[in-house]
Structure 1
Amino acid sequence: MSTPDLFTFRNRHFTLSIGITAAILVVTAIAGFIVLPLAQPWVQFANLWDVICSAAGVPQRAPNVTAPEQSKRLSEVVLTSSTLSRPSQEAIGRGATLAQRCAICHGPTGVSRADSPNLAGQYAAVIYKQLLDFRSGARTNAVMSPFAVNLTDQEIADLSQYYAYLPRLPAYHPTPQLPKPNIVIFGAPIRGIAPCGSCHGSLDNKTGSPWLEGQSEAYMKAQLQAFASGERRNDISQQMRNIARAMTPQEIDQAAAYYASQPPDVVKAVD
Protein backbone atom coordinates (compact mmCIF):
# COMPACT_ATOMS: atom_id res chain seq x y z
CA MET A 1 0.00 0.00 0.00
CA SER A 2 1.43 3.38 -1.00
CA THR A 3 1.80 6.27 1.46
CA PRO A 4 -1.08 8.33 0.00
CA ASP A 5 -3.39 5.34 0.47
CA LEU A 6 -2.62 5.23 4.19
CA PHE A 7 -4.49 8.48 4.83
CA THR A 8 -7.71 7.76 3.02
CA PHE A 9 -11.02 6.47 4.30
CA ARG A 10 -10.49 3.39 2.14
CA ASN A 11 -7.93 2.36 4.78
CA ARG A 12 -10.05 0.87 7.57
CA HIS A 13 -7.31 1.43 10.18
CA PHE A 14 -7.19 5.13 9.34
CA THR A 15 -10.97 5.33 9.42
CA LEU A 16 -11.08 3.53 12.79
CA SER A 17 -8.47 5.85 14.34
CA ILE A 18 -10.35 8.93 13.12
CA GLY A 19 -13.58 7.54 14.56
CA ILE A 20 -12.00 6.80 17.94
CA THR A 21 -10.42 10.27 18.12
CA ALA A 22 -13.71 11.94 17.25
CA ALA A 23 -15.55 9.84 19.87
CA ILE A 24 -13.02 10.85 22.55
CA LEU A 25 -13.47 14.53 21.66
CA VAL A 26 -17.26 14.22 21.84
CA VAL A 27 -17.19 12.42 25.20
CA THR A 28 -14.69 14.95 26.59
CA ALA A 29 -16.81 17.88 25.41
CA ILE A 30 -19.95 16.40 26.97
CA ALA A 31 -18.16 15.72 30.26
CA GLY A 32 -16.46 19.13 30.40
CA PHE A 33 -19.28 21.36 29.19
CA ILE A 34 -22.39 19.52 30.43
CA VAL A 35 -21.69 16.90 33.12
CA LEU A 36 -19.18 18.87 35.23
CA PRO A 37 -21.16 22.15 35.24
CA LEU A 38 -24.29 20.23 36.30
CA ALA A 39 -22.32 18.45 39.03
CA GLN A 40 -20.89 21.76 40.32
CA PRO A 41 -23.80 24.23 40.30
CA TRP A 42 -22.02 26.44 42.83
CA VAL A 43 -19.17 27.25 40.40
CA GLN A 44 -19.73 30.38 38.34
CA PHE A 45 -17.85 30.89 35.05
CA ALA A 46 -17.20 34.32 33.60
CA ASN A 47 -16.66 33.18 30.02
CA LEU A 48 -16.07 30.21 27.72
CA TRP A 49 -12.33 30.24 28.40
CA ASP A 50 -12.95 29.67 32.12
CA VAL A 51 -15.18 26.71 31.24
CA ILE A 52 -12.44 25.20 29.05
CA CYS A 53 -9.81 25.73 31.75
CA SER A 54 -12.03 24.15 34.37
CA ALA A 55 -12.74 21.13 32.15
CA ALA A 56 -8.99 20.73 31.60
CA GLY A 57 -8.30 20.82 35.35
CA VAL A 58 -6.63 24.24 35.32
CA PRO A 59 -7.32 26.29 38.51
CA GLN A 60 -10.03 28.84 37.89
CA ARG A 61 -8.99 32.46 38.09
CA ALA A 62 -10.29 34.45 41.02
CA PRO A 63 -13.31 36.52 40.00
CA ASN A 64 -12.53 40.10 39.08
CA VAL A 65 -13.25 42.51 41.89
CA THR A 66 -16.17 44.67 40.91
CA ALA A 67 -16.02 48.43 41.02
CA PRO A 68 -18.35 48.73 44.06
CA GLU A 69 -16.08 46.44 46.09
CA GLN A 70 -12.97 48.33 45.01
CA SER A 71 -14.50 51.53 46.37
CA LYS A 72 -15.01 50.04 49.84
CA ARG A 73 -12.48 50.69 52.60
CA LEU A 74 -9.81 48.00 53.00
CA SER A 75 -7.67 47.10 56.00
CA GLU A 76 -4.53 49.17 56.43
CA VAL A 77 -3.24 47.30 59.50
CA VAL A 78 0.33 46.01 59.25
CA LEU A 79 1.24 43.10 61.55
CA THR A 80 4.60 41.55 62.33
CA SER A 81 5.62 38.61 64.50
CA SER A 82 6.54 41.09 67.27
CA THR A 83 3.20 42.95 67.32
CA LEU A 84 2.03 43.09 70.97
CA SER A 85 4.38 40.23 71.81
CA ARG A 86 5.52 41.74 75.14
CA PRO A 87 2.46 42.72 77.19
CA SER A 88 2.87 44.53 80.46
CA GLN A 89 0.87 43.80 83.61
CA GLU A 90 -0.39 47.39 83.51
CA ALA A 91 -1.77 46.91 79.98
CA ILE A 92 -3.48 43.67 80.98
CA GLY A 93 -5.04 45.38 83.99
CA ARG A 94 -6.34 48.27 81.90
CA GLY A 95 -7.69 45.76 79.37
CA ALA A 96 -9.54 43.87 82.12
CA THR A 97 -11.40 47.05 83.04
CA LEU A 98 -12.28 47.82 79.43
CA ALA A 99 -13.40 44.24 78.80
CA GLN A 100 -16.33 44.60 81.19
CA ARG A 101 -18.15 46.30 78.31
CA CYS A 102 -17.46 43.28 76.10
CA ALA A 103 -18.76 40.63 78.49
CA ILE A 104 -22.39 40.77 77.34
CA CYS A 105 -21.41 39.26 73.97
CA HIS A 106 -18.03 37.64 74.56
CA GLY A 107 -18.63 36.36 78.08
CA PRO A 108 -17.13 37.44 81.41
CA THR A 109 -14.25 34.98 80.92
CA GLY A 110 -13.85 35.60 77.20
CA VAL A 111 -15.95 32.57 76.24
CA SER A 112 -19.23 33.43 74.55
CA ARG A 113 -22.55 31.86 75.45
CA ALA A 114 -23.98 33.11 72.16
CA ASP A 115 -22.50 32.90 68.66
CA SER A 116 -19.93 35.64 69.19
CA PRO A 117 -16.29 34.56 68.91
CA ASN A 118 -14.44 33.30 71.97
CA LEU A 119 -11.63 35.73 72.80
CA ALA A 120 -9.96 34.08 75.81
CA GLY A 121 -6.45 33.08 74.79
CA GLN A 122 -6.82 34.41 71.25
CA TYR A 123 -3.65 35.82 69.74
CA ALA A 124 -3.26 39.48 70.69
CA ALA A 125 -2.37 40.49 67.12
CA VAL A 126 -5.64 38.98 65.87
CA ILE A 127 -7.86 40.96 68.25
CA TYR A 128 -5.76 44.08 67.68
CA LYS A 129 -6.20 43.93 63.90
CA GLN A 130 -9.93 43.23 64.01
CA LEU A 131 -10.63 46.09 66.42
CA LEU A 132 -8.62 48.49 64.27
CA ASP A 133 -10.54 47.30 61.20
CA PHE A 134 -13.88 47.77 62.96
CA ARG A 135 -12.79 51.27 63.95
CA SER A 136 -11.68 52.23 60.44
CA GLY A 137 -14.68 50.66 58.69
CA ALA A 138 -12.62 48.03 56.87
CA ARG A 139 -14.83 45.52 58.69
CA THR A 140 -18.38 46.36 59.71
CA ASN A 141 -20.80 44.97 62.25
CA ALA A 142 -23.92 46.50 63.79
CA VAL A 143 -22.59 45.93 67.32
CA MET A 144 -18.82 46.08 67.00
CA SER A 145 -18.50 49.11 64.70
CA PRO A 146 -20.16 51.61 67.11
CA PHE A 147 -18.21 50.10 70.01
CA ALA A 148 -14.79 50.29 68.31
CA VAL A 149 -15.15 53.72 66.73
CA ASN A 150 -14.35 55.55 69.98
CA LEU A 151 -11.49 53.30 71.15
CA THR A 152 -7.99 54.76 71.19
CA ASP A 153 -4.93 52.88 69.92
CA GLN A 154 -3.87 52.26 73.52
CA GLU A 155 -7.29 50.90 74.53
CA ILE A 156 -7.31 48.54 71.55
CA ALA A 157 -3.83 47.29 72.47
CA ASP A 158 -4.84 46.86 76.14
CA LEU A 159 -7.96 44.86 75.27
CA SER A 160 -5.99 42.66 72.90
CA GLN A 161 -3.31 41.90 75.49
CA TYR A 162 -5.87 41.20 78.21
CA TYR A 163 -7.80 38.64 76.20
CA ALA A 164 -4.58 37.02 74.97
CA TYR A 165 -3.53 36.65 78.62
CA LEU A 166 -6.66 34.68 79.59
CA PRO A 167 -6.51 30.87 79.48
CA ARG A 168 -8.31 29.15 76.65
CA LEU A 169 -11.38 27.49 78.10
CA PRO A 170 -13.81 24.92 76.67
CA ALA A 171 -16.70 26.34 74.68
CA TYR A 172 -20.15 26.65 76.24
CA HIS A 173 -21.70 24.71 73.39
CA PRO A 174 -19.34 21.82 72.72
CA THR A 175 -20.24 19.29 70.03
CA PRO A 176 -18.95 15.72 69.58
CA GLN A 177 -15.48 15.74 68.06
CA LEU A 178 -15.44 15.15 64.31
CA PRO A 179 -12.67 13.71 62.12
CA LYS A 180 -10.67 16.19 60.09
CA PRO A 181 -12.24 16.82 56.68
CA ASN A 182 -9.97 16.88 53.63
CA ILE A 183 -10.36 20.64 53.20
CA VAL A 184 -8.75 21.18 56.64
CA ILE A 185 -5.77 18.84 56.34
CA PHE A 186 -5.15 18.78 52.57
CA GLY A 187 -6.96 21.81 51.16
CA ALA A 188 -7.76 21.62 47.44
CA PRO A 189 -4.55 22.42 45.49
CA ILE A 190 -6.19 22.32 42.06
CA ARG A 191 -8.56 25.09 43.19
CA GLY A 192 -5.80 27.03 44.92
CA ILE A 193 -7.00 26.23 48.47
CA ALA A 194 -4.28 25.68 51.07
CA PRO A 195 -4.98 23.49 54.13
CA CYS A 196 -6.73 25.49 56.85
CA GLY A 197 -4.07 24.36 59.32
CA SER A 198 -1.28 26.03 57.37
CA CYS A 199 -2.47 29.43 58.65
CA HIS A 200 -4.76 28.61 61.56
CA GLY A 201 -2.54 26.27 63.56
CA SER A 202 -1.93 22.50 63.68
CA LEU A 203 0.51 22.87 60.75
CA ASP A 204 1.59 26.48 61.22
CA ASN A 205 0.19 29.86 62.23
CA LYS A 206 0.28 32.98 60.11
CA THR A 207 0.49 36.27 62.00
CA GLY A 208 -3.01 37.72 62.12
CA SER A 209 -4.77 34.37 61.66
CA PRO A 210 -6.91 33.30 64.65
CA TRP A 211 -6.96 29.89 66.26
CA LEU A 212 -10.36 28.37 65.51
CA GLU A 213 -10.83 25.38 67.81
CA GLY A 214 -14.01 25.62 69.86
CA GLN A 215 -15.35 28.67 68.06
CA SER A 216 -19.04 28.85 67.21
CA GLU A 217 -19.98 26.81 64.16
CA ALA A 218 -22.60 29.37 63.15
CA TYR A 219 -20.09 32.22 63.49
CA MET A 220 -17.38 30.51 61.42
CA LYS A 221 -19.83 29.51 58.71
CA ALA A 222 -21.18 33.06 58.54
CA GLN A 223 -17.66 34.52 58.21
CA LEU A 224 -16.67 32.12 55.42
CA GLN A 225 -19.86 32.99 53.56
CA ALA A 226 -19.17 36.70 54.09
CA PHE A 227 -15.66 36.31 52.68
CA ALA A 228 -17.02 34.35 49.71
CA SER A 229 -19.61 37.01 48.88
CA GLY A 230 -17.21 39.91 49.42
CA GLU A 231 -19.31 41.27 52.27
CA ARG A 232 -16.27 40.88 54.53
CA ARG A 233 -13.08 42.20 52.94
CA ASN A 234 -10.54 42.94 55.69
CA ASP A 235 -8.42 39.86 55.03
CA ILE A 236 -4.74 40.30 54.25
CA SER A 237 -4.06 40.28 50.47
CA GLN A 238 -7.60 38.93 49.82
CA GLN A 239 -6.38 35.52 50.93
CA MET A 240 -9.55 34.44 52.71
CA ARG A 241 -11.82 35.87 50.02
CA ASN A 242 -10.05 33.89 47.32
CA ILE A 243 -10.14 30.72 49.41
CA ALA A 244 -13.78 31.06 50.49
CA ARG A 245 -14.92 31.76 46.91
CA ALA A 246 -13.29 28.53 45.77
CA MET A 247 -14.79 26.43 48.59
CA THR A 248 -18.01 24.51 48.04
CA PRO A 249 -20.94 24.99 50.44
CA GLN A 250 -20.28 21.48 51.73
CA GLU A 251 -16.64 22.31 52.47
CA ILE A 252 -17.64 25.46 54.34
CA ASP A 253 -20.07 23.41 56.45
CA GLN A 254 -17.45 20.71 57.11
CA ALA A 255 -14.70 23.14 58.14
CA ALA A 256 -17.00 25.11 60.48
CA ALA A 257 -18.41 21.95 62.08
CA TYR A 258 -14.96 20.40 62.53
CA TYR A 259 -13.39 23.40 64.26
CA ALA A 260 -16.45 23.88 66.47
CA SER A 261 -16.08 20.28 67.64
CA GLN A 262 -12.44 20.63 68.67
CA PRO A 263 -11.50 21.52 72.25
CA PRO A 264 -9.16 24.49 72.58
CA ASP A 265 -5.64 23.98 73.81
CA VAL A 266 -6.31 24.83 77.47
CA VAL A 267 -3.18 26.86 78.13
CA LYS A 268 -2.40 30.53 78.45
CA ALA A 269 -1.61 32.05 75.10
CA VAL A 270 0.70 34.56 76.79
CA ASP A 271 2.95 33.56 79.68
Structure 2
Amino acid sequence: MSDDRLFDLKNKWLRVSVGLATAVFVASAAYGFVVSPSLDGTAIGGIWDSICSAAGVPSKRSADQGEVAPYQTSAVVLRASEFRNPPADSVGRGATLAQQCAICHGPTGISRADSPNLAGQYASVIYKQLLDFKSGARVNAVMSPFLKSMTEQDMRDLAAYYAFLPRLPGFHPSDADAAPLIVQSGSPMRGIAPCGSCHGTIENKSGSPWLEGQSATYIRAQLHSFAAGSRTNDVSQQMRTIARQMTEAEISAAAEYYASRPLGSN
Protein backbone atom coordinates (compact mmCIF):
# COMPACT_ATOMS: atom_id res chain seq x y z
CA MET A 1 0.00 0.00 0.00
CA SER A 2 1.40 3.39 -1.03
CA ASP A 3 1.61 6.49 1.19
CA ASP A 4 -0.86 8.20 -1.18
CA ARG A 5 -3.51 5.66 -0.32
CA LEU A 6 -2.67 5.91 3.42
CA PHE A 7 -3.54 9.62 3.67
CA ASP A 8 -6.42 9.55 1.20
CA LEU A 9 -9.77 10.67 2.68
CA LYS A 10 -11.31 7.71 0.90
CA ASN A 11 -9.35 5.51 3.32
CA LYS A 12 -11.96 4.61 5.95
CA TRP A 13 -9.30 3.91 8.62
CA LEU A 14 -7.92 7.43 8.21
CA ARG A 15 -11.42 8.87 8.59
CA VAL A 16 -12.06 6.77 11.70
CA SER A 17 -8.73 7.74 13.29
CA VAL A 18 -9.20 11.46 12.65
CA GLY A 19 -12.78 11.29 13.89
CA LEU A 20 -11.81 9.53 17.12
CA ALA A 21 -8.94 11.98 17.76
CA THR A 22 -11.27 14.94 17.18
CA ALA A 23 -13.91 13.48 19.49
CA VAL A 24 -11.36 12.93 22.27
CA PHE A 25 -10.06 16.50 21.88
CA VAL A 26 -13.55 18.03 22.00
CA ALA A 27 -14.54 15.91 25.02
CA SER A 28 -11.33 16.82 26.87
CA ALA A 29 -11.77 20.52 26.12
CA ALA A 30 -15.38 20.44 27.26
CA TYR A 31 -14.44 18.74 30.53
CA GLY A 32 -11.44 20.96 31.20
CA PHE A 33 -13.08 24.28 30.37
CA VAL A 34 -16.71 23.71 31.35
CA VAL A 35 -17.33 20.69 33.59
CA SER A 36 -14.23 20.84 35.80
CA PRO A 37 -14.48 24.56 36.69
CA SER A 38 -18.13 24.07 37.69
CA LEU A 39 -17.12 21.43 40.26
CA ASP A 40 -15.07 23.82 42.44
CA GLY A 41 -18.14 24.99 44.35
CA THR A 42 -18.39 28.44 42.77
CA ALA A 43 -21.29 29.71 40.69
CA ILE A 44 -20.63 29.83 36.97
CA GLY A 45 -22.49 32.37 34.86
CA GLY A 46 -22.25 30.64 31.54
CA ILE A 47 -19.84 28.90 29.22
CA TRP A 48 -17.68 32.01 28.70
CA ASP A 49 -17.23 32.41 32.47
CA SER A 50 -16.35 28.72 32.67
CA ILE A 51 -13.68 29.08 30.00
CA CYS A 52 -12.28 32.21 31.66
CA SER A 53 -12.22 30.47 35.02
CA ALA A 54 -10.34 27.46 33.67
CA ALA A 55 -7.87 29.62 31.78
CA GLY A 56 -7.24 31.90 34.76
CA VAL A 57 -8.50 34.98 32.90
CA PRO A 58 -10.83 37.43 34.73
CA SER A 59 -14.35 37.28 33.31
CA LYS A 60 -16.95 40.03 33.28
CA ARG A 61 -18.77 38.27 36.10
CA SER A 62 -15.71 38.12 38.35
CA ALA A 63 -14.86 41.72 37.53
CA ASP A 64 -18.38 42.82 38.52
CA GLN A 65 -18.23 40.90 41.79
CA GLY A 66 -14.72 42.10 42.61
CA GLU A 67 -11.87 40.04 44.05
CA VAL A 68 -11.69 39.59 47.83
CA ALA A 69 -8.19 39.17 49.27
CA PRO A 70 -8.04 36.10 51.56
CA TYR A 71 -5.56 37.82 53.88
CA GLN A 72 -3.79 41.08 54.45
CA THR A 73 -0.18 41.35 53.36
CA SER A 74 2.63 43.46 54.74
CA ALA A 75 2.88 46.96 53.33
CA VAL A 76 6.07 47.90 55.21
CA VAL A 77 8.81 49.51 53.11
CA LEU A 78 12.23 49.52 54.78
CA ARG A 79 15.25 51.67 53.99
CA ALA A 80 18.71 50.49 55.03
CA SER A 81 19.70 53.81 56.64
CA GLU A 82 16.39 54.53 58.34
CA PHE A 83 17.21 52.93 61.69
CA ARG A 84 20.91 53.72 62.00
CA ASN A 85 22.17 55.78 64.94
CA PRO A 86 18.88 56.32 66.80
CA PRO A 87 18.87 59.19 69.32
CA ALA A 88 19.59 58.28 72.95
CA ASP A 89 16.18 59.44 74.13
CA SER A 90 14.55 57.01 71.72
CA VAL A 91 16.49 54.11 73.27
CA GLY A 92 15.52 55.36 76.73
CA ARG A 93 11.82 55.53 75.87
CA GLY A 94 12.07 52.07 74.38
CA ALA A 95 13.58 50.72 77.61
CA THR A 96 10.54 51.97 79.51
CA LEU A 97 8.10 50.49 77.00
CA ALA A 98 9.97 47.17 76.99
CA GLN A 99 9.01 46.54 80.63
CA GLN A 100 5.60 45.51 79.28
CA CYS A 101 7.29 42.99 76.97
CA ALA A 102 9.50 41.34 79.61
CA ILE A 103 7.04 38.60 80.57
CA CYS A 104 7.43 36.97 77.13
CA HIS A 105 10.69 38.36 75.75
CA GLY A 106 12.67 38.52 79.00
CA PRO A 107 13.87 41.54 81.03
CA THR A 108 17.01 41.76 78.90
CA GLY A 109 15.42 40.74 75.60
CA ILE A 110 16.34 37.06 76.08
CA SER A 111 13.25 34.85 76.24
CA ARG A 112 12.84 31.80 78.44
CA ALA A 113 9.42 30.99 77.02
CA ASP A 114 10.16 30.07 73.37
CA SER A 115 9.24 33.60 72.32
CA PRO A 116 11.76 35.27 70.01
CA ASN A 117 14.91 36.76 71.54
CA LEU A 118 14.91 40.48 70.73
CA ALA A 119 18.23 41.57 72.22
CA GLY A 120 20.50 42.76 69.41
CA GLN A 121 17.90 42.04 66.75
CA TYR A 122 17.94 44.42 63.79
CA ALA A 123 15.81 47.49 64.53
CA SER A 124 14.26 47.30 61.06
CA VAL A 125 13.11 43.72 61.74
CA ILE A 126 11.47 44.57 65.06
CA TYR A 127 9.81 47.66 63.60
CA LYS A 128 8.44 45.70 60.61
CA GLN A 129 6.98 42.94 62.76
CA LEU A 130 5.38 45.42 65.17
CA LEU A 131 3.85 47.35 62.29
CA ASP A 132 2.59 44.12 60.72
CA PHE A 133 0.93 43.11 64.01
CA LYS A 134 -0.69 46.54 64.23
CA SER A 135 -1.95 46.50 60.64
CA GLY A 136 -3.20 42.90 60.82
CA ALA A 137 -0.71 41.58 58.26
CA ARG A 138 0.55 39.29 61.02
CA VAL A 139 -1.83 37.96 63.66
CA ASN A 140 -1.10 36.72 67.16
CA ALA A 141 -3.43 36.35 70.15
CA VAL A 142 -1.03 38.27 72.42
CA MET A 143 0.73 40.70 70.11
CA SER A 144 -2.23 41.89 68.01
CA PRO A 145 -4.23 43.38 70.91
CA PHE A 146 -1.03 44.73 72.49
CA LEU A 147 -0.20 46.75 69.36
CA LYS A 148 -3.61 48.42 69.02
CA SER A 149 -2.68 51.37 71.24
CA MET A 150 0.97 51.58 70.22
CA THR A 151 2.02 54.64 68.22
CA GLU A 152 4.49 54.88 65.36
CA GLN A 153 7.02 56.47 67.71
CA ASP A 154 6.50 53.73 70.31
CA MET A 155 7.36 51.09 67.72
CA ARG A 156 10.48 52.93 66.64
CA ASP A 157 11.57 53.42 70.26
CA LEU A 158 11.12 49.73 71.06
CA ALA A 159 13.04 48.75 67.93
CA ALA A 160 15.87 51.13 68.85
CA TYR A 161 16.07 49.79 72.42
CA TYR A 162 16.18 46.10 71.56
CA ALA A 163 18.68 46.69 68.77
CA PHE A 164 20.88 48.51 71.32
CA LEU A 165 21.04 45.49 73.65
CA PRO A 166 23.92 43.00 73.23
CA ARG A 167 23.00 40.14 70.94
CA LEU A 168 22.93 36.61 72.26
CA PRO A 169 25.80 34.92 70.36
CA GLY A 170 25.31 31.49 68.89
CA PHE A 171 27.79 28.73 69.65
CA HIS A 172 28.21 25.74 67.39
CA PRO A 173 30.39 23.06 69.04
CA SER A 174 33.64 22.36 67.20
CA ASP A 175 32.97 18.63 67.08
CA ALA A 176 29.62 19.13 65.42
CA ASP A 177 29.06 18.92 61.72
CA ALA A 178 29.18 22.05 59.61
CA ALA A 179 26.02 24.05 59.02
CA PRO A 180 23.37 21.84 57.38
CA LEU A 181 23.09 22.06 53.61
CA ILE A 182 19.77 23.89 53.78
CA VAL A 183 21.52 26.68 55.73
CA GLN A 184 24.75 27.00 53.80
CA SER A 185 23.75 25.87 50.31
CA GLY A 186 19.98 25.71 50.15
CA SER A 187 18.55 23.55 47.39
CA PRO A 188 19.00 25.19 43.96
CA MET A 189 17.08 22.47 42.14
CA ARG A 190 14.00 23.31 44.24
CA GLY A 191 14.55 27.05 44.11
CA ILE A 192 15.52 27.29 47.80
CA ALA A 193 18.18 29.88 48.64
CA PRO A 194 20.54 29.18 51.59
CA CYS A 195 18.99 30.32 54.89
CA GLY A 196 22.27 32.07 55.67
CA SER A 197 22.02 34.28 52.60
CA CYS A 198 19.22 36.28 54.23
CA HIS A 199 19.45 35.47 57.93
CA GLY A 200 23.14 35.88 58.61
CA THR A 201 26.32 33.74 58.55
CA ILE A 202 26.56 34.43 54.78
CA GLU A 203 24.70 37.72 54.26
CA ASN A 204 21.80 39.63 55.74
CA LYS A 205 18.86 40.92 53.77
CA SER A 206 17.11 44.05 55.02
CA GLY A 207 14.05 43.07 57.03
CA SER A 208 15.23 39.49 57.59
CA PRO A 209 15.79 38.58 61.27
CA TRP A 210 19.07 37.40 62.76
CA LEU A 211 18.33 33.81 63.80
CA GLU A 212 21.39 32.82 65.85
CA GLY A 213 20.31 31.72 69.34
CA GLN A 214 16.58 31.74 68.62
CA SER A 215 14.44 28.97 70.08
CA ALA A 216 14.25 25.88 67.88
CA THR A 217 10.58 25.55 68.83
CA TYR A 218 9.89 29.09 67.67
CA ILE A 219 11.77 28.70 64.36
CA ARG A 220 10.02 25.43 63.61
CA ALA A 221 6.62 26.94 64.41
CA GLN A 222 7.19 29.91 62.09
CA LEU A 223 8.36 27.72 59.20
CA HIS A 224 5.29 25.53 59.63
CA SER A 225 3.08 28.63 59.71
CA PHE A 226 4.64 29.96 56.50
CA ALA A 227 4.27 26.55 54.83
CA ALA A 228 0.61 26.28 55.88
CA GLY A 229 -0.11 29.87 54.81
CA SER A 230 -1.28 30.92 58.29
CA ARG A 231 1.53 33.47 58.45
CA THR A 232 1.46 35.79 55.45
CA ASN A 233 3.53 38.89 56.23
CA ASP A 234 6.56 37.85 54.18
CA VAL A 235 7.21 40.26 51.32
CA SER A 236 6.50 38.72 47.90
CA GLN A 237 5.69 35.39 49.59
CA GLN A 238 9.39 34.56 49.80
CA MET A 239 9.23 32.58 53.04
CA ARG A 240 5.97 30.85 52.14
CA THR A 241 7.46 29.68 48.86
CA ILE A 242 10.61 28.39 50.56
CA ALA A 243 8.92 26.78 53.58
CA ARG A 244 6.50 24.85 51.36
CA GLN A 245 9.46 23.30 49.55
CA MET A 246 11.35 22.33 52.72
CA THR A 247 11.12 18.82 54.13
CA GLU A 248 10.41 18.22 57.81
CA ALA A 249 14.03 17.08 58.23
CA GLU A 250 15.31 20.33 56.71
CA ILE A 251 13.04 22.42 58.92
CA SER A 252 14.33 20.62 62.02
CA ALA A 253 17.95 20.83 60.89
CA ALA A 254 17.74 24.60 60.32
CA ALA A 255 15.91 25.17 63.62
CA GLU A 256 18.37 23.12 65.66
CA TYR A 257 21.37 24.73 63.98
CA TYR A 258 20.26 28.30 64.65
CA ALA A 259 19.19 27.39 68.19
CA SER A 260 22.57 25.85 69.08
CA ARG A 261 23.43 26.46 72.74
CA PRO A 262 24.44 30.12 73.16
CA LEU A 263 27.73 31.12 74.76
CA GLY A 264 27.57 31.54 78.52
CA SER A 265 24.44 29.44 79.01
CA ASN A 266 24.25 26.84 81.72
The normalised TM-score by structure 1 is 0.69
Matched with 1:73 is 72
Matched with 1:88 is 87
CA distance in 2, matches of 1:194, 1:175: 22
Matched with 1:123 is 122
Give how far 1:92 is off. Answer: 0.2
Give how far 1:170 is off. Answer: 5.4
Structure 2 unaligned regions, length at least 5:
1-66
Give how far 1:83 is off. Answer: 2.3
Relative to structure 1, is the Cα distance of residues 154 and 262 closer, same or farther in structure 2, using a 3 angstrom cutoff?
same
**Do the aligned partners of 2:91 and 2:164 also contact (CA within 8 Å) in 1?**
yes
How many residues matched?
196
Matched with 1:263 is 262
**Do the aligned partners of 2:169 and 2:212 also contact (CA within 8 Å) in 1?**
no
The alignment yields a C-alpha RMSD, in angstroms, of: 2.1
Percentage of identical aligned residues: 64
Give how far 1:262 is off. Answer: 5.6
Q: Deviations over 1:3-28 (max 9, x none)?
A: xxxxxxxxxxxxxxxxxxxxxxxxxx
1:263 corresponds to which letter in structure 2? P
Moved over 6 A (4+): 174-177
Matched with 1:141 is 140
CA distance in 2, matches of 1:107, 1:176: 26
**Do the aligned partners of 1:69 and 1:230 also contact (CA within 8 Å) in 2?**
no
Give how far 1:131 is off. Answer: 0.1
SS in structure 2 of the partner of residue 261 of structure 1: coil
Verify: 1:156 aligned to 2:155, yes or no.
Answer: yes
Matched with 1:17 is none
The normalised TM-score by structure 2 is 0.70
1:184 corresponds to which letter in structure 2? V
**Further displaced range: 94-103 or 253-262:** 253-262
Structure 1 unaligned regions, length at least 5:
1-67, 265-271
Matched with 1:251 is 250
Give how far 1:150 is off. Answer: 1.1
CA distance in 2, matches of 1:130, 1:83: 16
Q: Deviations over 1:72-93 (max 9, x none)?
A: 1110000111121120100000
Matched with 1:199 is 198
SS in structure 2 of the partner of residue 128 of structure 1: helix
1:119 corresponds to which letter in structure 2? L
SS in structure 1 of the partner of residue 163 of structure 2: helix
**Do the aligned partners of 1:213 and 1:260 also contact (CA within 8 Å) in 2?**
yes
Matched with 2:209 is 210
Matched with 1:187 is 186
Q: Give the number of the structure with larger relative contact order, counting CA–CA contacts within 8 Å between residues 6 or more apart.
A: 1
Give how far 1:70 is off. Answer: 3.7
